[in-house]
A and B are shown apart, each in its own frame.
Chain A
Amino acid sequence: MEKEKKSWPPYAPGTHVKESDIREKKLTYTWWEPEVQYSWSLGHAMSKFIQGLKTGKIYGIHCKRCKRVIVPPRMFCEYCFGPTDEWVELKDTGVIETFSISYLDPDARRIEEPILVGVVSIDGASPKHGFMHYFGEMTKDEIKIGMKVKAVWKPENEREGSITDIKYFKPLKGGDD
């Protein structure tokens, strides 16, 4: 490129840095990995939900005034602002409400095989009540909104009280339930 003579700001050529330049140490750099930890207080409702997952159960909570079963559970109903009333054990099946075919992994790296993620409405809860999860045992061409799905759980000894105690949701075929 023709060097442009300017009085201000002075011309400085741009330098493109490739990942290989870093790997091959072609340039000097500083790399720092800070130790950043967080601790999120789950509260009563989410604690019960998470511990339910550990035992292979999905808990919802019932608001008697709004006649609503909420999942993930909350200690108050955001419709009537009243306290929620009763714990309800829900089925581990549901319906795909929305989904995404993602070519990025959770660290935003590009991937060849897409991961399928989306929101599942859980059976037993009020309509459109559910949470996000992965979908598996189906291809990106097979997945569709309204599909019946069933949770695939981790083996009981591997569960640690996390939403990932459910590995993914697989298509629910007749007789599976």
Chain B
Amino acid sequence: MGFLEKQTDPTTPMHWRGDMQADYFYPSGIAGDKFFRHIMENDTFLATKCSKCNKVLFPPRLYCEDCFEEIQEMDWIEVPSTGTVKLYTVVTINAHGKKLEKPRVIAFIDIDKTNGALLGVIRTNDFNKDFLGTKVKAIFKQKGNREGTLKDILYWE
């Protein structure tokens, strides 16, 4: 009897386990490529300034997202790698829900002299502090070890 047969062996019902390969590949694009190649060699950022509305786009883009003006070669400007914390959150678990050994402070940092912002990790040991409005500075990896991704910024402090 199949259906009415009594299940006595707890090892009989099985699960089929597997991994799904879902790699994610994101090329930086023309503006992004220029930005990341710049931070590979320098400790500053690049931004683009719209010649029509004077908005400083950061991360740099090839056209202004407000007035759709095309960015020219001369519109690229160098901006300092400093900023102000606009928002932050203290993270205690990783992406898989496992508890982190040490909490991490993830902040939304308004980059100085631009109208843009970046997400970054703030290096700190004080997790009860109010970081809003704190001035922070990007600490990069050593030159030569940089790979041209956002991970070249180790943390902010």
A residues at B contact (CB < 8 Å): 7-12, 15, 17, 22, 25, 27-48, 50-51, 61-62, 73, 75-76, 83-87, 107, 161
- CB pair B70–A11 under 8 Å, yes or no, is yes
- CB pair A75–B2 under 8 Å, yes or no, is yes
- CB pair B28–A33 under 8 Å, yes or no, is no
Given A51-B14, A75-B2, A86-B2, residue A29 in contact with residue B27 (CB < 8 A): yes
- CB pair A44–B7 under 8 Å, yes or no, is yes
Size class of B's contact patch?
Answer: 35 or more
- Which residues of B are found within 8 Å of A42, using beta-carbon distances? 13-16
Interface residues of B in 18-64 (CB under 8 A from A): 18-30, 32-33, 36-37, 62-63
The chain B residue with its CB closest to the CB of A48 is B12
- CB pair B2–A28 under 8 Å, yes or no, is no
- Which residues of A are found within 8 Å of B148, using beta-carbon distances? 25, 28
- Which residues of B are found within 8 Å of A39, using beta-carbon distances? 15-17
- Which residues of A are found within 8 Å of B36, using beta-carbon distances? 28
Given A10-B69, A36-B19, A38-B18, residue A29 in contact with residue B3 (CB < 8 A): no
- CB pair B28–A37 under 8 Å, yes or no, is no
- Which residues of B are found within 8 Å of A22, using beta-carbon distances? 25, 27
Q: Is B102 an interface residue (CB 8 A)?
A: no
The chain A residue with its CB closest to the CB of B27 is A29
- CB pair B149–A30 under 8 Å, yes or no, is yes
- CB pair A12–B2 under 8 Å, yes or no, is no
Of the residues B16, B19, B23, B28, contact of A28 by C-beta under 8 Å:
B28
CA distance A11 to B37 in the complex (A): 23
- CB pair B20–A87 under 8 Å, yes or no, is no
0/1 string, B122-140, CB within 8 A of A gives 1: 0000000000000000000
